[in-house]
């Protein structure tokens, strides 16, 4: 790709021919045409969280949290490339037909790299989980897949929501997230920094809330000092939608709309998702801003449009419509769902032996739900395969599949005139007449999602707790009470207390929101066509008793790095049908200051089936008072192993992993002794208990 300066100069030349009124008109998400200059209308708002969203047909991949569970940055790049191809194909057709509507452009407002710090947050499933390192690596990979490596950007990615943003949803328009410099630079900013510096992301979206007193879309600390000056960001900044009106309506940091737009554009917000920037000319007339503010923003936005080749002929113009929801992308989405599902418990009931089973009972509100496949921010697939349908297809004619919804997601009855629990008897009957039960429980976007989303049961989109809804807990208890072998398939985007299920179910598989044909993928896992291989990108807690209040942004006792009690299922945990072990691991050469560490590990599959598993490395600082309480992920590698196969693999660990963040937010080397753990799960006691394996420990001394 040509240099940023090359495209900026072209933008400057075009913008210089515009009147100040024309320039200002380009700074809202619905940029009108300037016909005398040959500038077509352009709508900046498009979404691509796990597929091109809200613009008709597209491949619907698993929700972001499900793709995070794959722990494979290269695979995520592959997914993002498929999404970008479909976005280009759809753009080619819409522009050809003069359709410049919302969700049809090439500026994709993804990925979301906010830290999933609290399991109650309704939008956590849009993220890559609770760990800054994992979020960094996956965010960079997704951006590279969306933007490509050609002369022009295939699409323009946008990393969001900058910064320190993870609920509560119902307070986001007025909330001030207070955070220490240590937590800011240790937890909340690393993924954004990586996406800017390594991913070269084209756009950054500000958050709704304030951070340490400043509204994020008008924050000098975030947008000017950190993003532009410290990180050297050259792209454009967009506000979250209608966030700028919050400045004077809810945050009360300004008094008028004119003051709000002046603050936003002066701090460095170039594009307004909303309509407040229609007041820019009034703010200019009142002397609150200068023409240079408007021109600067316009140049940044047109630089992006030139980078996309919107005023040139590009190879992307020839991408045919037929790539949209094509067979190759559908298969990739199914593969992603297979790789991301996490097996949390298995007493040997899985995989299901078709020769031993004559009747399977499929029960639960998510068994035959299309909505539960999707997550949120999704497109429309050409075909959906629910879990029930996937199981029926895989069972074939040799196994009878009985079905009952059992209960609704939240409501206590299916028929309005019926008594409460009107489907419970049928579900118990199905269980009693089955050799084994596959119980499909969980959530969907009507329970966990974004503030203001239509249909959220809890209005804000956040969860009030981490329990299954009462009707589902009742169903679970009644089914296991039948004594029939029970496999729980949890379809949800966040951590849920599964203590009862862990105690009473024979197997537990979390599928996240597995995408349009997720039922096919999950059936493949249940019947052993492939082995589960996903790992948890979030901690599954036993309760909220010891978690700080939702509004407390301190990391104390949050996530696996700072947790003080034993979790139910720890970060990085996930079983397979095989038995991958790390037999040995060692450093290559000596440790040198500021030089990345190289590790070789000998891994072996001690089983007679082919598997994939994720080799993980964690660092523990032995001396510094600034070290995280527990350990930190610093490397991961998805490994394919044939039956009884042994291989030697290599991992590179950044020297920065040995550094800590002090109270001033500075990343420093503050220790000489470390422990590096290498294994297929974390080094915590709960992981060792659940897997029966202890990671290899490599002492490091500088």
Question: Which residues are the active-site residues?
Answer: 240
d(CA 622, CA 583): 24
Strands 214-215 and 436-442: unpaired
Strands 342-346 and 210-211: unpaired
Token pair, residue 206, equals 């500000």
Q: Which runs of consecutive H residues, i.e. helices, occur in 341-469?
A: 371-374, 387-395, 424-432
Q: Which residues contact 328 (CB under 8 A, 6 or more apart)?
A: 82
- Looking at the DSSP bridge assignments, the partners of residue 688 are none
| Distance set, CA 102 to CA 44, 46, 94 (Å) | 7, 7, 11
| Chain center to CA of 268 | 26
Preceding amide of 98 cis, omega within 30? no
Q: Find the radius of gyration of the CA atoms of the chain.
A: 26
Which residue shows structure tokens 């989405």?
Answer: 333
d(CA 14, CA 335): 45
Closest CA relative to residue 367, chosen from 430, 461, 448, 435: 430
Half-sphere CA count of 171, side-chain side, radius 13 A:
12
| Distance set, CA 65 to CA 126, 305, 307, 339, 448 (Å) | 6, 30, 30, 12, 13
3-state secondary structure of 174: coil
d(CA 397, CA 344): 30
d(CA 256, CA 262): 10
Closest CA relative to residue 63, chosen from 353, 493, 480: 493
């Amino acid at each position: 790709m040509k240099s940023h300066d090359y495209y900026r100069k072209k933008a400057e030349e075009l913008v210089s021919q515009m009147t100040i009124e024309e320039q200002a008109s380009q700074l809202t998400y619905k940029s009108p045409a300037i016909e005398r200059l040959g500038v077509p209308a352009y709508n900046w708002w498009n979404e691509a969280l796990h597929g091109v969203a809200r613009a008709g047909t597209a491949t619907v991949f698993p929700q972001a949290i499900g793709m995070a569970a794959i722990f494979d940055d290269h695979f995520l790049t592959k997914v993002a490339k498929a999404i970008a191809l479909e976005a280009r194909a759809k753009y080619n057709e819409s522009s050809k037909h003069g359709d410049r509507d919302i969700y049809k452009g090439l500026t994709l407002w993804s990925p979301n790299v906010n830290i999933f710090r609290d399991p109650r947050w309704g939008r956590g499933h849009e993220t890559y989980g609770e760990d800054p390192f994992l979020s960094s690596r996956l965010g960079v990979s997704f951006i590279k897949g969306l933007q490509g490596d050609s002369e022009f950007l295939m699409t323009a990615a946008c990393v969001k929501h900058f910064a320190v943003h993870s609920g509560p949803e119902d307070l986001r328009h007025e909330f001030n997230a207070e955070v220490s410099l240590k937590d800011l630079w240790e937890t909340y900013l690393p993924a954004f920094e990586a996406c800017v510096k390594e991913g070269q992301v084209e756009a950054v979206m500000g958050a709704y809330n304030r951070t340490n007193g400043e509204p994020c879309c008008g924050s000098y600390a975030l947008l000017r000092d950190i993003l532009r000056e410290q990180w050297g960001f050259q792209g454009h900044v967009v506000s979250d939608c209608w966030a700028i009106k919050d400045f004077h309506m809810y945050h009360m940091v300004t008094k008028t709309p004119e003051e709000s737009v002046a603050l936003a554009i002066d701090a460095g917000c170039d594009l307004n998702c909303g309509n407040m920037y229609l007041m820019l000319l009034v703010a200019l007339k009142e002397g609150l801003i200068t023409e240079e503010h408007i021109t600067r923003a316009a140049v940044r936005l047109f630089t992006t449009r030139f980078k996309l080749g919107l005023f040139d002929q590009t190879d992307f113009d020839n991408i045919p419509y037929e790539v949209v929801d094509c067979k190759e992308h559908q298969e990739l989405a199914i593969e992603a769902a297979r790789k991301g599902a996490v097996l949390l418990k298995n007493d040997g009931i899985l995989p299901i032996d078709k020769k031993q089973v004559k009747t399977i009972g499929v029960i639960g509100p998510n068994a035959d739900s299309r909505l539960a496949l999707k997550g949120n921010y999704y497109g429309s697939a050409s075909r959906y395969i629910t879990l029930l349908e996937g199981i029926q297809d895989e069972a074939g004619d040799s196994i009878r599949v009985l079905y009952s919804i059992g209960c609704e997601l939240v409501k206590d009855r299916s028929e309005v005139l019926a008594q409460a629990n009107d489907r419970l008897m049928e579900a118990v009957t199905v269980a009693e007449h089955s050799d084994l039960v596959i119980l499909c429980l969980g959530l969907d976007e009507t329970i966990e999602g974004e503030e203001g989303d239509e249909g959220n049961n809890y209005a804000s989109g956040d969860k009030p707790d981490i329990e299954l809804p009462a009707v589902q807990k009742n169903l679970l208890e009644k089914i296991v009470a039948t004594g029939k072998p029970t496999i729980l398939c949890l379809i949800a985007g966040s951590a849920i207390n599964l203590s009862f299920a862990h105690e009473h179910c024979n197997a537990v598989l979390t599928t996240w929101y597995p995408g349009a044909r997720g039922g096919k993928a999950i059936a493949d896992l249940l019947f052993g066509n492939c082995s589960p291989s996903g790992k948890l990108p979030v901690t599954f807690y036993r309760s909220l008793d010891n978690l700080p209040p939702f509004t407390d942004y301190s990391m104390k006792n949050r996530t696996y790095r700072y947790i003080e009690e034993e979790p139910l299922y720890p970060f990085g945990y996930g079983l397979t049908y095989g038995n991958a072990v790390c037999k040995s691991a060692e450093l290559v050469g000596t440790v040198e200051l500021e030089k990345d560490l190289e590790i070789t590990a000998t891994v072996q599959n001690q089983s007679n089936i082919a598997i994939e598993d994720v080799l993980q490395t964690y660092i523990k600082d032995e001396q510094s008072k600034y070290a995280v309480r527990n350990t930190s992920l610093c490397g991961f590698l998805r490994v394919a192993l044939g039956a009884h196969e042994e291989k030697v693999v290599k991992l590179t660990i950044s020297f920065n992993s040995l550094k800590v963040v002090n109270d001033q937010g500075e990343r420093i080397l503050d220790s000489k002794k470390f422990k590096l753990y290498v294994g297929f799960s974390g080094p915590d006691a709960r992981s060792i208990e659940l897997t029966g394996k202890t990671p290899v420990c490599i002492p490091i001394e500088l």
